């Protein structure tokens, strides 16, 4: 039972990230009927922007993990991530997609593929291809000050990291947990740490205290931020002038233009809002999974598109529902299969896609549009 609950939570948080990306897909598709393959790359850029802000802010130095400054730091990083994704999307739309207005759907699709490849490879040039560990909210405590903490418990974990050389000659990082919420730091552990050395002979010198948020709490934060974003988006689309213009362009671009709506601006804004959400998804991904790289956007991007199709492309609640459903399926199905089948995890989404296209091509929330002759 606990296993099921754990897996459900894992699936939920993966699904929420898919939902963040899927919202942008569905909005862009709803308005200009383009599968914007580059959307996954907006997500990637958001993750990197968040990474740089968090690193620059020195998340270790702010004196964390006191919850309040940490939330502030993540708030700023999230805003930076979302804004940089959004601005990139507006630039891409202006340079690559707008010149294609009125040309064939296939040309637009190919351009989107090209933009996606382009951004991935520019990402490699700019960020380098290697994986980076995402900054963790943790505080460094020097061994000289460690005496003050002996006998205390910590809201998160207190741990020391050091590198060891494996028999094959590869260095890897090892973590030793010293204390936690229900285990006080002992003087012995501190004394022992003084003799620990890295593979290159450097003494360890200190230990870290990690963020007070547990796994479950992090998942809850993800869910709450999705719910909040979804609510704001719903208000934007249904309760503002801009939202009305957006729905008009999506319903009939020609008629909307005749009614005096500046459709190019609406399209541009739609890209911005969609990528804004993808950027938030990117930073959440980084915090949740801890690793980012320039190729990270492609697979989640594709899967988020699948999620949007499952929910009914063009439908905003559909994207959220489809994303969560896909995330849960993708975690639960391999969790209950024998372990030798766990490699097939990536196939789940594509099989779901083909199944939904065959039996309900308009998606779960979509409306069927009759074919026009």
Partner 1 sequence: MAFVLDHLVHLSILVMLALSLNLINGFAGMFSLGHHGFFAVGAYAAAVVVFYGAQGSVPAGEAAVVAGSASSILWFVASLVVGIVAAGIFGFIVGVPCLRLRGDYLAIATLGFGEIVRILAQNTEAVGGARGMEVSYLLLERDVDTQNEYALLYAILVVALTAVTFVFIRNLIRSRHGRSLVSIREDEVAAELVGINLARAKLMAFVVGAAFAGLAGALYANYMTQIEPKEFNLIKGIYILLFVVLGGMGSLTGTIIAGFVLYVLDKIVLNLMPQEIQSLREVLFALILIILMISRPQGLLGHKELADTRFWQRLFRRQRGLKESS
Taking CB under 8 A as the binding criterion, the range among 117-125, 141-149, 162-170, 258-266 that sits at the site for partner 1 is 117-125
| Segment contacting partner 1 by CB under 8 A, of 6-14, 55-63, 183-191, 341-349 | 341-349
Our finding on whether 117 is near partner 1 (CB under 8 A) is yes
Nearest CA to 220 out of 21, 72, 9, 7 is that of 9
Span of 77-85, 233-241, 254-262, 342-350 interacting with partner 1 by CB under 8 A: 342-350
If binding is defined by CB under 8 A, does position 127 make contact with partner 1?
no
Q: Does residue 4 belong to the site contacting partner 1 (CB under 8 A)?
A: no
Stretch that binds partner 1, among 47-55, 225-233, 247-255, 340-348 (CB under 8 A): 340-348
Question: How many H helices and E strands in the chain?
Answer: 12, 6
**CB of 318 within 8 A of CB of 311?**
yes
User: For residues 251-310, which are near partner 1 according to CB under 8 A?
Assistant: 302, 305-306, 309
108 interacts with partner 1 by CB under 8 A: yes
For the record, the structure tokens of 141 come out as: 């405590």
Nearest distance from C-beta of residue 101 to partner 1, angstroms: 11
CB atoms near residue 189 (< 10 Å): 19
Nearest approach, Cβ of residue 110 and partner 1 (Å): 5
> Residue from 63, 68, 104, 182 that binds partner 1 (CB under 8 A)?
104
CB distance 11 to 330 below 8 Å: yes
Size of the site for partner 1 (CB under 8 A): 43
Give dist(CA 142, CA 135) in Å, integer. Answer: 19
Residue 291, strand partner residues: 133
- Token pair of 191 as six digits: 């004394």
Q: Which is nearer to partner 1, 97 or 285 (CB)?
A: 97
Answer for the pair 207, 199: CB distance below 8 angstroms, yes or no. Answer: no
Dihedral over Cα of 100, 265, 46, 22: its sign: negative
Q: Figure out which of the listed residues 1, 61, 68, 106 binds partner 1, where binding follows CB under 8 A.
A: 106
Q: Is 101 in the site for partner 1 (CB under 8 A)?
A: no
Residues 5-64 that bind partner 1 (CB under 8 A): 33, 35
Q: Does 105 bind partner 1 (CB under 8 A)?
A: yes
User: Is the Cα torsion angle 234, 240, 242, 244 positive or negative in sign?
Assistant: positive
* Distance of alpha carbon 104 from alpha carbon 98, whole angstroms: 13
CB atoms within 10 A of CB 206: 15
Member of 185, 334, 353, 365 binding partner 1 (CB under 8 A): 353
Q: Report helix, strand or coil for 1.
A: coil
From 4-12, 14-22, 106-114, 262-270, give the range in contact with partner 1 by CB under 8 A.
106-114
Structure tokens at 330: 């993708």
Contact residues for partner 1, defined by CB under 8 A: 33, 35, 96, 99-100, 103-111, 113-118, 120-122, 124-125, 302, 305-306, 309, 341, 343-344, 346-347, 349-351, 353-354, 357-358, 361, 373
């Amino acid at each position: 039972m606990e296993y099921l609950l754990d897996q459900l939570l894992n699936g939920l948080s993966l699904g929420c990230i898919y939902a963040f990306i899927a919202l942008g897909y569905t909005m862009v598709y709803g308005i200009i009927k383009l599968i914007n393959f580059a959307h996954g790359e907006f997500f990637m850029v958001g993750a990197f922007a968040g990474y740089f802000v968090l690193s620059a802010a020195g998340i270790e130095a702010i004196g964390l993990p006191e919850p309040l400054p940490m939330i502030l730091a993540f708030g700023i990083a999230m805003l930076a991530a979302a804004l940089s994704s959004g601005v990139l999307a507006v630039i891409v739309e202006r340079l690559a997609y707008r010149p294609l207005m009125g040309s064939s759907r296939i040309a637009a699709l190919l351009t989107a593929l090209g933009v996606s490849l382009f951004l991935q490879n520019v990402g490699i040039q700019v960020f380098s291809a290697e994986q980076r560990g995402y900054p963790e909210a943790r505080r460094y405590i020097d061994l000289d000050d460690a005496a003050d903490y002996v006998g205390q418990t910590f809201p998160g974990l207190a741990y020391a990291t050091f590198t060891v050389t494996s028999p094959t000659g590869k260095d890897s990082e090892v973590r030793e947990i010293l204390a936690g919420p229900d285990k006080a730091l002992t003087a012995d552990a501190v004394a022992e740490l003084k003799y620990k050395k890295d593979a290159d002979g450097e003494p360890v010198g200190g230990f870290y205290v990690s963020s007070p948020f547990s796994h479950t709490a992090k998942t809850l934060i993800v869910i709450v931020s999705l719910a909040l974003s979804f609510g704001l988006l719903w208000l934007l689309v249904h309760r503002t002038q801009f939202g009305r213009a957006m729905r008009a362009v999506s319903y009939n671009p020609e008629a909307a233009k005749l009614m005096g709506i500046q459709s190019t601006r609406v399209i541009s804004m739609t890209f911005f809002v969609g990528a804004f959400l993808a950027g938030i998804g990117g930073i959440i991904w980084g915090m949740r999974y801890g690793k980012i790289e320039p190729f990270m956007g492609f697979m989640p991007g594709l899967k988020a598109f699948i999620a949007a199709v499952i929910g009914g492309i063009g439908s905003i609640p559909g994207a959220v529902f489809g994303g969560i459903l896909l995330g849960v399926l993708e975690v639960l199905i391999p969790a209950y299969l024998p372990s030798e089948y766990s490699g097939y995890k990536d196939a789940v989404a594509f099989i779901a896609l083909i199944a939904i296209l065959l039996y309900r091509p308009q998606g779960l929330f979509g409306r069927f549009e009759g074919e026009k002759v």
